[in-house]
Structure 1
Amino acid sequence: MNVDRMRQIDFWAGVPLTFLMTLYWRIRCFFSPPAPKAGKNILFIELSEMGSAVIADAALKRAQALFPDARIYFLIFAKNRPSLDIMGTIARENMLTIRADSLVNLVVDTLAMVRTMRSLDLMAAIDMEMFSRFSALLTFLSGAPKRVGFHRFHTEGLYRGELLTHRVPYNPHQHVAKCFMAQVHALTEPEGTTPHGKVHFTEADIRLAPVTPSAEVLDAFKTRLFEAYPVLQDAKRWVILNPNASELMPLRRWPYDRYKEVARRLLAEHDDMAIIITGVASEKAEAETLVAAAGSDRICNLAGFTRMEDLIPLYALSAVMVTNDSGPAHFAAPVGLPTIVLFGPETPALYGALNDKAEFITARLACSPCVSAMNHRSTACTDPACMRAIPVEQVLGAVKRLLG
């Protein structure tokens, strides 16, 4: 299913379902208060964003430190599961998935997941989604006695029931990684605290643990890569261009012609450099137009060639990456790859990659950012002038600066 259809289902089905579930819970608690349940494990629910699995990593590690006897589970949409492999914090057997490629699969997997969650001996379920009714229902149906999530409090709209036991305010003025940390710490605060999450976090608290591929992994990847693209073996520096963005928000894409110009200019000015275009298999044909426009044999189309497990060695071997605000910016962060991230509809203040070597470029138009958790990350804009306002010269200048 596409993102717009999922938003419609979340609203038209989610609002009445969360209302009815809230009514049921209140009536049940009034007549027959549930007996305390002693679980020990923790379930994190973050379904829809691959990059968020990386942003949330510090919170996952903090949960492990605060509750060393707990087994940590993570529930995510099936197509996004490979993003959990980047940091390797969650054991493969503790990764839970729901298919969302069709309504039938979504319903079938959700019903099965309710049964699975209730077998996990949960102490807490932490809903990391931003005001999703679907994830609120999953959190409640998990059977966990402690249910943590973002609550609207006095904010109008975005109703998703009253199903949480630990209500954390979503703070739109600090990085979302700190919001995730606040959710974990809510479990250490007295029940009934209003709001939960009264704790200070520093930049060091959300810093990602570095990820370095082994020599064996690097050698295996280079062997496979050089067989397919021998020109890369002769180039001293690789610059990655990631011109794509997830279907969640195509407005985040910098115009394709700008990427073509960046590729042409870099190849013309640096004869020791190769350009790598990344993307998924469905983006291969479009990426090929960029390769053709560059007019050089030192540009390689890796769309569909790289698997998720290839990204860490690819980033470790590369010099710089230019990317839209999307998953690769976050996947490259633990490697420390110098990265230029182009922002428009969203802001790096909230969603910037946790990478000390990242530079964020935004035109800062009066209308930008136009999407947030408060509008369900939806916008009326159909003309992303905020992305077109980022000039080629500014991006090229940043590339050259990071190349040193």
Structure 2
Amino acid sequence: MRVQTQRWIDRWLGQLLCSVVSVWVRLVTRGRPARSLPHEPRHILVILLSEMGSVVLAGPMFATLRQRYPSATLHVLQLKKNQEVAALLGLAKPEHLHALDDSAGLGLLGDIWRVSMTLRRLPLDAVIDCELFSRISSLMSYLSGAPLRVGFTPHTQEGLYRGSYINRAIPYNPYQHISKQFLSLVDALGADSMPRNKAAPIRGLPSDTQLVVPFEAAELNAYRHKMLADHPTLADRKIVLIYAGGGLLPERAWPAAHYARVARGLCQAGHAVGLIGLRDDAQLAHDLLAQIGSEFCVDLTGYTRSIRELLMLFHGADLLITNDGGPGHFASLTPIRTMVFFGPETGRLYGPLGSRAQVLESGLACSPCLSAYNHRETFCDGDNQCLKRIAPDPVLADALTALTQPSQAHS
């Protein structure tokens, strides 16, 4: 199903269904005392339907849940296409990972019914809905049967209506990093009543993801040797990986000509460049190779067959330069240094966690322009000046400086 179709259904039909459920819940719960979380909850569901990078940013939230409720079984509900990441990161046992397939409308309706019945049979003590504007996740939180439903509320702001049946609601804050807001959802789970009148803990931005993907040294060395055997021009040089694709949101892409200028400079300085991405990015990589014109720049689009292989590729390289998206967040799970471009969205809310990531933003007055309040629909008509105005030469200088610093990659 096309993304725009999903958004249209979610915006109009989703709001109508959320309104109906809100009225129903108000009628059936009138006069009943507020529910509290048991001292030792048995089952807690986390709903994470958005992009794969958000799963990495939710790492501190999962760590806190395990620390506070060690006896609880954690369940995770995701879109089927994103489930590989949850399994790789061990967010829950395989039998506790639940999926919705959004590729076809009727199939999605069938999955909603099947998953809802599975969750209601547990039964759940609480559900944490991490989505900002998805009404399907809000409805799933109710259909799951959990008596405590934690999620974001717009308060008086428009553009985020998801029903009034979220009984542990916190206001979405567009000025705080999303990882801190995920942690606030955990705080709301243990609140005695809502709206909360007790201040949540004061936290700084989490210093890392608190997620680990274990690799054996032999496995990493074997993968690096295979990469160098397949692309011998990368040998004996520091390797810079470049992800120039924009994915589902092409307005997040730094101009291809800028990437070509940086890659050319890196090759001239004695380094090697690998262009990464999905198979759909092959044409972009072909065009960039023609502009760069160096034997030390190779096409690695489609080279990795899984997220695990992508992480091994990061382990075998020295620097990643990337647009905002999943690769920058996955890189934070490895020792590689990262430079990430932000414009339509901001690193203040969605920047990778950890000290090895450098966020590159222009600070243009209209940036960021994508938010939960406009359904992530920009008004720049593809002319993303917020990224075009980040000049390539300063980026090249920063990249060369980063390559002089000690790296733990492939050590």
Sort the TM-score into its range (normalised by shorter chain): over 0.9
What is the Cα deviation at residue 130 of structure 1?
A: 0.6
Please give the TM-score of this superposition, normalised by the length of structure 2.
0.91
Query: SS state of the match for residue 196, structure 2?
Result: coil
Confirm whether residue 181 of structure 1 aligns to residue 183 of structure 2: yes
Gaps of 5+ in 2: 405-411
Measured after TM superposition, the shift of residue 40 of structure 1 is: 1.5
What is the CA–CA distance in structure 2 between the aligned matches of 1:126 and 1:159, rounded to whole Å?
A: 17
Offset of 1:144 from its aligned partner? Answer: 0.6
CA distance in 2, matches of 1:328, 1:361: 15
Q: How does 1:202-241 map to 2 (within 5 A)?
A: 202-204=204-206, 207-209=209-211, 211=213, 213-232=215-234, 234-241=235-242
Query: Aligned residue for 1:341?
Result: 340
1:358 is matched with: 357
Stretch of structure 1 that moved more, 131-140 or 110-119? 110-119
Residue aligned with 2:261, SS: helix
Task: Give the Cα separation in 1 of the matches to 2:197 and 2:179.
Answer: 18
**Which digits, 9 at most, give the CA deviation of each residue in 1:297-329, with x for residues without a partner?**
222211111121112221112111100011110
Aligned to 1:79: 81
Q: Secondary structure at the match of 2:125?
A: strand
Question: How many pairs are equivalent?
Answer: 400
Task: Indicate the percent of aligned positions where both proteins have the same amino acid.
Answer: 34
Within 1, Cα distance between the matches of 2:359 and 2:207? Answer: 21
Q: 1:56-114 CA distances to partner (integer Å, 9 max, x unpaired)? A: 01101110111011111111111111222453333333221111112222222222221
Name which of structure 1's ranges 199-208 and 279-288 shifts more when overlaid on structure 2: 199-208
Contact kept, 8 Å, 1:245 with 1:252, in 2: the verdict is yes
Name the counterpart of 2:375.
376
**Closer/same/farther in 2, CA of residues 201 and 86 from structure 1, 3 Å limit:** farther
**1:379 is aligned with what amino acid?**
T
**What letter corresponds to residue 162 of structure 1 in structure 2?**
S
Could you say if the C-alpha distance between residues 402 and 379 of structure 1 is closer, same or farther in structure 2, counting changes exceeding 3 Å? same
Distance 1:35 1:52, change over 3 A: closer
Structure 1 portions without partners, runs of 5+: none
CA contact (8 A) 2:209 2:332 kept: no
Q: Quick check: 86-95 or 48-57, which moved more?
A: 86-95
Q: CA RMSD in A?
A: 2.2
Give the Å deviation of 1:167: 0.6
- Give 1:3-402 correspondences, 5 Å limit: 3-30=3-30, 40-194=42-196, 198-204=200-206, 207-209=209-211, 211=213, 213-232=215-234, 234-247=235-248, 249-270=249-270, 273-306=271-304, 307-382=306-381, 383-402=383-402
Once structures 1 and 2 are overlaid, which stretch shifts more, 287-296 or 300-309? 287-296
**Cα drift, residue 286 of structure 1:** 2.2
Q: Distance in 1 between matches of 2:93 and 2:163?
A: 32
| Contact 1:185 1:197 survives alignment (8 Å) | no
SS of the aligned residue for 1:149 comes to strand
In the TM superposition, residue 400 of structure 1 has moved relative to its aligned partner by 1.0
State the alpha-carbon separation in 1 of the partners of residues 101 and 389 from structure 2.
37
After TM superposition, give the deviation of residue 209 of structure 1 in Å. 4.3
TM-score, structure 1 as length reference: 0.93
